[in-house]
Structure 1
Amino acid sequence: MTSTWTSSEKVVRIDQVGGPEQLKLVSIEVGMPGPGEVRIRHKACGLNFIDIYHRNGVYPLPMPHSLGMEGAGVVEAVGEGVTHLAVGDRAAYASPPPGAYATARVLPARSVCKLPDDISFETGAAMMLKGLTAQYLLRRTLPQGGLQAGDTVLFHAAAGGVGLIACQWAKALGLQLIGTAGSDEKCELARQAGAAHVINYRSEPDFATRVREITEGRGVKVVYDSVGADTWEGSLNSLAPFGLMVSFGNASGVVPPVNLGTLAAKGSLYLTRPTLFTHLATREASQAMADELFAMVSRGTLRIPVEQRYPLAEVVQAHRDMEARTTVGCGVLLT
């Protein structure tokens, strides 16, 4: 392998924003990593709602562009200055820029971590973005005074990839997690994962009233909301005074402009719109967060639910399934 070595690889790209039909499997030349970069041959790539936001233009990308934010595989080459990885290492990552829907790629090494031998490539690909999201939410994005065992939190989309991991993590922390989902079957999955209470928002659309009943009128200390527009008002109405509203996704649409006076009227509420990649901005932070996630998975505290598997060539169907919200747990593309 020389410094000019390249290979033809399969990559999923889009030429313009739109529906799943915009996803095209093409061949491109992938070369060697530059300084601070690594080349990985993927075994599996994770599927996430952020991929849909990139495809449909909610989060704009320059065109044409590849998609996919997480993957796992084997290191094929490392660039100058990369010391934490070596050729042949098993590795996993959640990292910008998009491009994980590929047989191989070059990317910044900063957020790429060695994958423990007892964690499979499928699990590694499925857990990095979702697991690290659950980590930064429950461990780093905290209400006034933090979270202690016995505190109650509300977590929307509790049967999704992030949600099922968060249910397990919250239980391990001793938290009383109230999870919402769109069917009785999904609610049962959240309950089995560790949710203390579940609410089917289709049969109980006024979930805030149910939250107040569960908490004997107090409300919750924090709401973790990846649904967006549809749950916004109810989420605010579920919070206790000085509670924290964490909006970290837009599955049902973008939240409309916020009147700050609403936060005052509903109890001096706090509001944040965090992103995973702000937390992963340094090598040290990426490794510390991944170490905690790996430890939780290795000792069996967290089970990563890989429920959907698609060949890379079936990426269009994978996106259709995600948008229809018929999926549960995590999904991966296999290379």
Structure 2
Amino acid sequence: MVKAIRVHQHGGPQVLKWEDVEVGELKEGEILVRNKAVGLNFIDVYYRKGDYKPPALPFTPGMEAAGEVVAVGPGGLTGRQVGDVVAYAGNPMGSYAEEQILPASKVVPVPSSIDPVIAASIMLKGLTAHSVVRRSFKVEAGHTVLVHAAAGGVGSLVCQWANALGATVIGTVSTNEKAVQAREDGCHHVILYNEEDFVARVNEITGGQGVEVVYDSVGKDTFQGSLDCLKLRGSLVIFGMSSGAPDPIPLSALAVKSLFLTRPSLLHYTANREELLEAAGELFENVAKGILKVRVNHKYPLSQAAEAHSALESRQTTGSVVLIPDGSL
């Protein structure tokens, strides 16, 4: 038996329960990982609330972790050995646990230069940033980009990455404190959306031209404004919906400027082993070189996941939030 967070009904943070669970038996191609750190992401909130449907209730949430391989499945056909430090992001769900069984094909080796806490904090966010900056819309030198929630876990990485690629980066944030971080993360212009109209400000910054791409993790509250910020043939990449799902729009709303609209899923950009290893390799390389600076600004014991969820939803967090199995803090 190990400890894990379990959800028996959808709802607020209070539905996250700390319980004993059976790990189960390893099958061929699987490994048992003792988690050293677990990443907290907004997608966990969506599943907890029932906005996204998990396979069945009850379930253990969590889609990102780093840890040590403690056992391999029968036949040893995993490519991994006991003692390896590995990380994963995406499916299968269930990282809010002291130990979990994972398909060996879903994990990537963590370089010795990367601390497991950093790996756990950056896998899902970093691979998501890679999928939007390098795949959904490939940022190039000379582009101007708008990043909403620029001080958030993914937003901060998108800003850093786009800046390193030579783009002019505009970020929106909610507080002066977050504005300071956004500038540190490569934003050339920072907009406090509570104090000024971000559409008007973007129009001013770009001389009325608009931006090549908007990276939007907010959704409903920023959707129309994001479209309005785009230049001719611009792209809106919606990779999150922290304020809810946007209202439907007619195709004619895109036809006005021949706009592109996409709602990428990380799982579709790491659909095979080669894509996963390529993306993770590029991510870890940029972290090791200092191009991407990872802020683990908040650590909570795994048993206090409910408190961590409350802080995340109330926008009291910046950077990454990591859950540490109890006794490891």
1:254 corresponds to: 245
1:57 corresponds to: 50
**Matched position secondary structure for 2:208:** coil
Equivalent pairs, count: 323
In structure 1, what residue type is equivalent to 2:191? Answer: I
1:177 corresponds to: 169
1:228 corresponds to: 219
**Matched position secondary structure for 1:110:** helix
C-alpha separation in 2, matches of 1:221 and 1:292: 24
1:129 corresponds to: 124
2:229 corresponds to: 238
C-alpha separation in 1, matches of 2:79 and 2:292: 25
Q: Does 1:105 align with 2:100?
A: yes
Q: Does 1:72 align with 2:66?
A: yes
**Alpha carbons of 1:82 and 1:214: their partners in 2 closer, same or farther (altered >3 Å)?**
farther
- TM-score normalised according to structure 2 size: 0.96
1:25 corresponds to: 18
C-alpha separation in 2, matches of 1:215 and 1:84: 50
Match of 1:325 among 288, 305, 315: 315
1:48 corresponds to: 41
C-alpha separation in 2, matches of 1:286 and 1:27: 32
Per-residue deviation, 1:81 = 7.0
CA RMSD of aligned residues (A): 1.2
Question: What whole-Å deviation, never above 9, does each CA across 1:204-248 have from its counterpart, x for those lacking one?
Answer: 1x2111111111111001111010000001000000011111111
In structure 2, what residue type is equivalent to 1:86? Answer: Q
In structure 1, what residue type is equivalent to 2:214? Answer: V
C-alpha separation in 1, matches of 2:245 and 2:104: 32
Per-residue deviation, 1:32 = 3.6
C-alpha separation in 2, matches of 1:277 and 1:121: 22
In structure 2, what residue type is equivalent to 1:334? Answer: I
Tell me, yes or no, if the aligned pair for 1:68 and 1:98 is still in contact at 8 Å: yes
Per-residue deviation, 1:82 = 4.3
Per-residue deviation, 1:261 = 1.1
Question: What whole-Å deviation, never above 9, does each CA across 1:82-139 have from its counterpart, x for those lacking one?
Answer: 4432211011110212100000000222221110111111101100000111111111
C-alpha separation in 2, matches of 1:208 and 1:109: 46
Tell me, yes or no, if the aligned pair for 1:32 and 1:39 is still in contact at 8 Å: no
Q: Does 1:279 align with 2:272?
A: no
**Alpha carbons of 1:210 and 1:81: their partners in 2 closer, same or farther (altered >3 Å)?**
farther
- TM-score normalised according to structure 1 size: 0.94
Alignment of 1:129-208 (within 5 A): 129-142=124-137, 146-204=138-196, 206-208=197-199
Tell me, yes or no, if the aligned pair for 2:35 and 2:99 is still in contact at 8 Å: yes
Tell me, yes or no, if the aligned pair for 2:149 and 2:173 is still in contact at 8 Å: yes
Tell me, yes or no, if the aligned pair for 2:147 and 2:214 is still in contact at 8 Å: yes
Tell me, yes or no, if the aligned pair for 2:311 and 2:317 is still in contact at 8 Å: yes
- Unaligned segments of structure 1, at least 5 residues: 1-7
1:15 corresponds to: 8
